[in-house]
């Protein structure tokens, strides 16, 4: 599933073509994805201008001049594909929609934005912009990891008394929004914290270092266009390449990349999900 860097990369790719533009038509090609679409979604989108294209956690947010916000979640395999009319071609017909093209938005500038989702785990909703935080997909999210609300003091307070493994706590979207398996593994490796350590056992100094590591790994991943694993591509169709910088994720049995470390990356399963770490750099201490 795309994590925060992948969704932010998609947002940055779509914004130049969508912000300030009206949706000329909205072709809704099925009644649902993971959940049913809102009533009359096509009619409510057609004619609306996108004032701002933002992001909250792993969700794209298109603020409309109608007072509603289009919420988009990419799910496991969702992609936002961009096509543009060729310059100077006056008689142009778009090619037929592909099998998994579920929502097609034609913009007034001639761009076509298509939501394609083979597995249909994605979601779309329309919600009043003034009460966006009450939407079920957004209501319980913690602070943005790249925002001012996420800091060492916040994390220390969230870890206090928690008997859950630190990795599980970081994956809890109430603790911090947008983190997923990849970037939690990478951040924990950077600060030498075993993914199975109890959250309550981290010192304030470790929590501060972890906060900085989370910010840094996300910023580097965004700069690299995200990580392309299986279905993910950027809005322009290009693959992200941060996966080439993974220190531990998906590298079980390979040498640790920390200078001076002779350890080998290991894999354990926590709550049904793979965790990757270096036993030498991240001692157990649980």
CATH number at residue 99: 3.20.190.10
CA dihedral 98, 99, 103, 109 (to 10 degrees): 0
Residue ranges of the chain whose pLDDT lies below 70? 86-91, 226-244, 285-286
Catalytic residue annotation: 2-3, 58, 273
Measured distance CA(125)–CA(270) in Å, rounded: 32
- What sign does the CA torsion over 226, 232, 236, 239 have? positive
Please tell me whether residues 203 and 265 are part of one structural domain.
yes
Please tell me whether residues 106 and 176 are part of one structural domain.
no
Please tell me whether residues 42 and 116 are part of one structural domain.
yes
Q: Does residue 286 lie within any of the structural domains?
A: no
Q: Does residue 284 lie within any of the structural domains?
A: no
Q: Count how many Cα atoms sit within 13 Å of the Cα of residue 125 in the half-sphere of its side chain.
A: 15
Q: Does residue 36 lie within any of the structural domains?
A: yes
Please tell me whether residues 50 and 97 are part of one structural domain.
yes
What is the pLDDT, as a whole number, of residue 227? 53
Name the residue among 4, 37, 29, 1 with its Cα closest to residue 124: 37
Which residues have CB under 8 Å from 157's CB, separation 6+?
A: none
Looking at the structure of the chain, the number of domains it has is 2
Nearest-5° Cα angle at 132, 140 to 116: 90
Give residue 69's domain range.
4-134
Q: Could you tell me the two tokens for 11?
A: 């947002």
Which residues have CB under 8 Å from 277's CB, separation 6+?
A: 185, 188, 189, 194, 195, 248, 265, 266, 268
């Amino acid at each position: 599933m795309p994590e925060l860097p992948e969704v932010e990369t998609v947002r940055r790719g779509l914004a130049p073509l969508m912000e300030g533009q009206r949706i000329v038509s909205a072709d809704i090609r099925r009644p649902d994805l993971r959940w049913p679409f809102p009533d009359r979604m096509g009619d409510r989108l057609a004619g609306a201008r996108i004032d701002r294209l933002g992001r909250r956690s792993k969700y794209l947010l298109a603020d409309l001049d109608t007072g509603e916000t289009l919420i988009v979640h990419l799910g496991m395999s969702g992609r936002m594909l961009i096509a543009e009319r060729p310059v100077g071609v006056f008689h142009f017909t778009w090619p037929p929609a592909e099998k998994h093209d579920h929502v097609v938005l034609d913009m007034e500038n001639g761009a076509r934005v298509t939501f394609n989702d083979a597995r249909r785990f994605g979601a779309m909703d329309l919600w009043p912009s003034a009460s966006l935080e009450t939407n079920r997909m957004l209501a319980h999210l913690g602070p943005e990891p790249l925002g001012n609300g996420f800091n060492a003091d916040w994390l220390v307070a969230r870890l206090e008394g928690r008997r859950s493994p630190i990795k599980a706590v970081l994956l809890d979207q109430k603790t911090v929004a947008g983190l997923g398996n990849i970037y939690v593994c990478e951040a924990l490796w950077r600060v030498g914290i075993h993914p199975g350590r109890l959250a309550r056992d981290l010192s304030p100094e470790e929590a501060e270092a972890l906060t900085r590591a989370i910010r840094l790994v996300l910023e580097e991943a965004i700069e690299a266009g995200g990580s392309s694993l299986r279905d993910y591509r950027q809005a322009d169709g290009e693959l992200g390449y941060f996966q080439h910088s993974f220190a531990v994720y998906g590298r079980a049995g390979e040498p640790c990349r920390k200078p001076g470390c002779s350890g080998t990356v290991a894999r354990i399963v926590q709550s049904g999900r793979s965790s990757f770490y270096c036993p030498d750099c991240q001692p157990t201490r649980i």
